[in-house]
Amino acid sequence: MRKWIVVWLSLLLALGLFGVTLRVLMEDVPETHIIKALLPEFEAKTGIKVEFEIVQYSDMHAKLVPQLMSPNCQYDLLEVDNYWAGEFPAAGWLEPLDEYVKRDNFDISVYLPSMLDMVGYYNGKLYMIPMYNYAMGLIYRTDVLKDETLKKKYREKYGKELSVPRTLEDYVQICEFIQTNTDLYGSAMQAQRGDPIVMEWSNYLFTLGGDYYDEKWHARINDEIGVKATELYIRALKNAAPPGALSFNLDDAYRVMAQGKAFSMISYNWMLPQLDDPEKSKVAGKVALEPMPGGVGLNGGWGWAIPKNSQHKEEAWAFIKWVESPEIAKRRALMGGAPTRFDVFTDEEVVKKYPWYPKVMWLVMYAKHVPEFQYSAQMIEVVGRELSLAATGEKSIKEALDTAANELDKLAKLAGLWKK
C-alpha cells in the first residue's frame, strides 16, 4: 500500500517537473477549433499540455518541411493532409504506428477503408490515423428541381424528367439547361489555376472511371476517359458556370452559391451546413447533398501522425488515442466535425442532429483520392496549369493532357514508381 503511494507520488512529481507540452501545427478550420475546445479535458486527464499553432493551409507545408528535416522537430504531433500522405512517409519523416496500435489494441477496424487507404497506410505500413474527411459531392438547390414550369420545359426538350442527375452527362446537361432557362448559373465552379481546378476536375475524371496513373504508374490522364472528362468539364465551364469561374477558388464559388445565384456546385461535403446556415447564406433550407453524379467523387482528408524526430512520441500517441477514442470522436461529430469512422457516422444521436451524415459516409466510402507520392503537390500544379490552359483555349484538350501526362510520367520516374 505504502509502496503504491510512493510510486504514485513520484509519478505525480515527475509529471509536475517534466510536464510535457505537445506542440501541434493545425489548419484554421472548424475541426481544429472543435478539438481545441475539448483540450482541457485531455490535460486534466493526463497532465499533458497541448498547444495548437493555428495557421492557414497555404503556410503549413512550408512550415512543416524544414521542421521535419531538422534533427529536432518542434512539433510533436502532426496533422497530415492527403496531399502530403505520400511525400512525408516516403521521405522517412513519420513514425510507423503499427507497433503502437498492436500494443494498445487500438481499434482501426472502425475507420472507413477509403479513409485508411488515403490517410492511414502508405506502402502497407500504417503511418497515420484518419482524423477528418472532406470528400466532395454535389450540392444543389432542391427548390429549382421542384419548379413545375422548368420541369415541363425540360420534359419537352429532352423527353425525360428533371431530377437529381445520376450521370455526369446528365449533370452538365441540366446545368446548361438551367443556365439558359433561368437567371441562375448552372454550376458555381472553381476553376482557378492550381488546386481549385484540379480538385473539381478530379470529380469529373474519377466519376467516369478515369485516373491519373494506371497500376504501373504510367500516366493515363490523356486517355479517352481523361479527354472526355475534360471536354465535359470545359463544356460546363463555358455554358453553365459564372463568367468569372476561371479565377474562382472555393470561397468565390461559395459566395455565388450562398447569394442564391447558382443551381449547384461540386464541393466539399462540409459546405452543406455552411450553405444551410441562414446567417451566412440566402439559400438556407433549399440545399441538399448528393454523391457526385456518376457515383465517384474526390476524397480528401487529414490524418494524425507522429514525426520520427518528435521528442514526445508516447505523449503524442496518448493524445491520438484520446482524440480518436469513441467518446471524443462522437462528441467532435456532434459539435460539427467531419467523421471518419463507421460507428460515429451511424450513431443515433449524430444522425438525429445531422440527418445527411449517412449520405456523407456513402460519399466517403466510394470516393477516390489523388495519387499519393513524393510529388503529389507538383503533379497537382502541372495538371492545374495544363487544365487552365485548355480552359482558356490556349491549348487543345488533347495537347494539354498530353503535356501533363508527359510531366506526370517524369514525376513517377523521379519517385522510382514507374514500372516497365
Partner 1 sequence: MRKRRGGIKRSERLAGWAFVAPSLAVMIGVIAAPLFFSLIVSFYGYTFVNPTFSVFLGLENYKNALTDPYFWNSLWVTVKFVVLVVSLEFTLGFLVALMLNREIRFKRFYYTILTLPMVMSPVAVGLIWKMLLHPDLGVLNYFLGLLGIGPVNWLANSKMAFWSVLMVDIWQQISFMILLLLAGLVSLPKEPYEAATIDGANEVQKLFYITIPLMRPVMVAAIVIRTIFAFRTYDLIYVLTRGGPGISTEVLSYFIYRKTFMGLNLAEAAATSYVLLGVVMLFVIVAFRAVYRSPQEGT
Specify the 3-state DSSP secondary structure of 50.
Answer: strand
Amino acid at 255: R
182 in contact with partner 1 (CB under 8 A): no
Does position 90 bind partner 1 by CB under 8 A?
A: yes
Total of residues contacting partner 1 (CB under 8 A): 36
At a CB cut-off of 8 Å and minimum separation 6, what does 416 contact?
A: none
Stretch that binds partner 1, among 43-51, 103-111, 158-166, 249-257 (CB under 8 A): 249-257
Nearest CB to partner 1, comparing residues 59 and 104? 59
Among 242, 273, 293, 297, binds partner 1 (CB under 8 A): 242
Q: Is the dihedral of CA 299, 121, 57, 110 positive or negative?
A: positive
- 396: contact with partner 1 by CB under 8 A: no
Q: Rule CB under 8 A: choose which of 165, 171, 385, 401 binds partner 1.
A: 385
Q: What angle do CA 120, 121, 123 make, to 5 degrees?
A: 160
Q: Is 388 in the site for partner 1 (CB under 8 A)?
A: yes
Distance separating alpha carbons of residues 158 and 139, to the nearest angstrom: 23
Binding residue for partner 1, selected from 13, 102, 394, 396, defined by CB under 8 A: 394
Alpha carbon 322 to chain centroid, angstroms = 23
Q: Is the CB of 163 or the CB of 392 nearer to partner 1?
A: 392
**203's grid cell:** 470529380
DSSP3 helix / strand / coil % (the chain, rounded to 5):
50, 15, 35
Residue with cell 516497365: 420
Sheet containing strand 49-55, edge to edge, reads: 49-55, 21-27, 77-81, 301-305, 129-133
190 binding partner 1? (CB under 8 A): no
| 108 part of the interface to partner 1, by CB under 8 A | no
Which CB atom, from 16 or from 92, has the smaller least distance to partner 1? 92
381 contributes a contact to partner 1 by CB under 8 A: yes
Give the span between the Cα atoms of 177 and 186, in whole angstroms.
8
Contacts with partner 1 in 273-292 (CB under 8 A)?
none
Q: Does 247 bind partner 1 (CB under 8 A)?
A: yes
All three cell numbers of 320: 491520438
Residues 51-80: x where in contact with partner 1 by CB under 8 A, - otherwise, as a string: -------x--xx--x---x-----------
Residue with cell 495548437: 52
Stretch that binds partner 1, among 136-144, 190-198, 338-346, 349-357 (CB under 8 A): 190-198
Region of 113-121, 140-148, 355-363, 382-390 interacting with partner 1 (CB under 8 A):
382-390
Element (H, E) at 141: strand 136-141
Q: Round to whole Å and give the CA distance between 155 and 151.
A: 6
Per rule CB under 8 A, is residue 252 in the interface with partner 1? Answer: yes
DSSP assignment letter at 245:
G
How many residues appear in the chain?
A: 420
Among 16, 124, 159, 243, binds partner 1 (CB under 8 A): 243
Applying CB under 8 A, among 193, 341, 359, 369 the residue interacting with partner 1 is 193
Q: How far is the CB of 68 from partner 1 (least distance, A)?
A: 9
Query: Which residues of this protein are in contact with partner 1, per CB under 8 A?
Result: 58, 61-62, 65, 69, 87, 90-91, 191-194, 242-248, 252, 255-256, 259, 261, 374-375, 377-378, 380-381, 385, 388-389, 391-392, 394
